[in-house]
Chains A and B, each alone.
Chain A
Amino acid sequence: MQTGVRPRLYGVGSLGLLAVIVLGWWAVSTYLLDKTTRALLPPPQDVVKAAWELARSGELWTHLRDSIKREAVAFLWATSAIPLGIAMGWWRAVEEQVDPLVEVLRPVPPLAWIPLSILWFGVGDTQNQFIIFLGCFFPILLNTIAGVKGVEPNLVRAARCLGASEGRILWRVVLRAAMPQIITGVRVGLGVGWMALVAAELVGANSGLGFLINDARTVLRTDYVIVGMATIGVVGLAIDSAIRAAGAKLLPWSRAMTR
């Protein structure tokens, strides 16, 4: 049922601009920079070589594993936003109590929590997970609330007159009907969380991709820095694509998911 006007997957041809940029990078690094400044922007082939070194030594995988583990643990905690969002979207009294708190906390960027969270949790997994959790939580919460409020009133009425209890309506109708928007919240939340993760690791960790690039900076290994940055980008893209694919697979009825 692909009805999108624009094709979703891009062909090899659409990588043209990327190729030009890499070529430009290579030309600048090789011909414009001298020996000293080249250390700040190593040519692409050096970066590939560095990636190979880091992959072979296993260092890259250790850092990647630590980062993904933190993201996963924090995300599991952040899924508590789904029941909370359903309650807030469904019962006005819950929303009235919780909403002011949410509205005050939401504009505080996760990064602003880093100093306090280091004092609370010290340097390490817990602190990182807390920062990622903050990044994940609010997008999931706000999308869940919007999803619940957007449920067609007649769907709820239909379920009511077919004999569904309040609990059944929430579980069988409201949750399902809001699911496309909840998944959108999960996508946004994992993205924000992934960005927050790297920032948290820059200052508050002894492992992870954020730690890797900061550590490499202190010894001027810019090739490692770029490898770390590229890994962060590719993994972020992979997580987002996986969620999108899962959404399209699990919710074939939703236009929002298959578009």
Chain B
Amino acid sequence: MSRVAISHLGKTFAEAGHDPVEALRDVSFEVADREFCSILGHSGCGKTTLLMMLAGFEQPSAGSIAVDGQPVGAPTWQRTVVFQDYALFPWMTVEDNVAFGLEMKQVAAAERGAIVARNIALVGLQGFERRYPHQLSGGMKQRVSIARALAVDPAVLLMDEPFAALDAQNRSRMQEEMGRILASADPQARKTMVLVTHSIEEAILLSDQIVVLTRRPGRVKAEIRVDLPRPRSELDPAFIAMKRRIRDLIHDEFEIEA
């Protein structure tokens, strides 16, 4: 059970010598256990700030965040993050990166190997275990980052625009593959996931629920349930209809993206 409840959340950045910046105002929504929720919004709408607060890197100025009724405190392996810039440790090989969290969690060395191998296989990187990050493409780096975040078996997986830095082809491949992993995974083994994105397609492709934020200060503009069968296709008429609906809905918030 890992239910995320965000209630009346607000965040204002106050810096000496500058006018305070209100990033988020009165944001409330819930993510049900083992569901995939996308936070969709324009650049600068505070969606990354929201994710950073979910992880525990930033503290709310108002309101609260709770996972399973427990208020979110300092960062913990219960909520791991996949970063847009991968944030892999460049001095560690792929397998050492994936094993890092297990080591911090003090998983017995004998068990680590199997967990690392399973997660590397999940993201399709067998054969690259001994490579260093600088020897991998962007897409492969992001796979390592996903494997590293999943290896510690977190309750909630947080993703901050994980595919935004990839080129168009790699991005759609990673989205498809993520969709495949979501579709095929044992529902009991699925994590509660929160994805921050500015891509409507990506949100529909992957989510059970989409939360649309307004421009700064970010507020909840709409909550949309996505009940399309998985794996989803962008060519599916229902997919296109939903895309149009979301685009119309947030027309005034978004610059139209191709």
Residues on A lying within 8 angstroms of B by beta carbon are 1, 152, 154-155, 157-165, 168, 172-173, 176-177, 179, 251-255
Contact = CB atoms under 8 A, between A and B. Distances in A.
Nearest to B52: A157
Given A163-B105, A163-B152, A157 B75 contact: yes
B112 interface: no
A161 B100 CA distance: 11
Q: Is the interface of B mostly helix, strand, loop or mixed?
A: loop
A13 B79 CA distance: 59
B179 interface: no
B134 interface: yes
Contact of B101 (A154, A163, A165, A176): A163
B104 A176 contact: no
A43 to B, nearest CB: 52
A101 B149 CA distance: 43
Contacts of A172: 100
Interface in B180-204: none
Contacts of B133: 253
A162 B83 contact: no
A163 B134 contact: no
A253 B134 contact: yes
B75 A161 contact: yes
Contact of A157 (B55, B105, B132): B55
A157 B76 contact: no
Contact of A154 (B79, B85, B91): B85
Contact of B77 (A163, A176, A177, A254): A163
Q: Which of A160, A163, A168 has the most CB of B within 10 A?
A: A163
A162 B104 contact: yes
B209 interface: no
B15 to A, nearest CB: 15
Given A152-B87, A252-B132, A158 B105 contact: no
A154 B83 contact: yes
A168 B134 contact: no
Contact of A161 (B76, B90, B132, B135): B76
Nearest to A176: B91
B151 to A, nearest CB: 9
A176 B89 contact: yes
Contacts, number: 73
A21 to B, nearest CB: 41
Interface in B108-136: 132-135
A254 B152 contact: no
Contact of A173 (B76, B89, B134): B89
A164 B104 contact: yes
A159 B76 CA distance: 10
Q: Which of B76, B83, B90, B101 has the most CB of A within 10 A?
A: B90
B148 interface: yes
25 contacts: A154-B87, A155-B89, A157-B55, A157-B87, A158-B81, A159-B100, A160-B74, A160-B75, A161-B55, A161-B56, A161-B77, A161-B79, A162-B77, A162-B80, A162-B101, A162-B105, A163-B77, A163-B152, A164-B100, A173-B89, A177-B90, A253-B90, A253-B91, A253-B132, A254-B90
A163 B91 contact: no
B216 to A, nearest CB: 22
Nearest to B106: A163
Nearest to A173: B89
Nearest to A251: B91
Interface string B87-107: 111110000000011001100
Contacts of A152: 85, 87
Contacts of A253: 90-91, 132-134
B29 interface: no
Contacts of B79: 161
B148 A162 contact: yes
Given A162-B152, A173-B89, A253-B134, 15 more contacts: A154-B85, A155-B89, A157-B57, A157-B75, A158-B87, A158-B148, A160-B57, A160-B74, A161-B55, A161-B56, A163-B101, A163-B105, A172-B100, A253-B132, A253-B133
Q: Which of A1, A162, A168, A255 has the most CB of B within 10 A?
A: A162
Contacts of A164: 100, 104
Nearest to B135: A1
A96 to B, nearest CB: 16
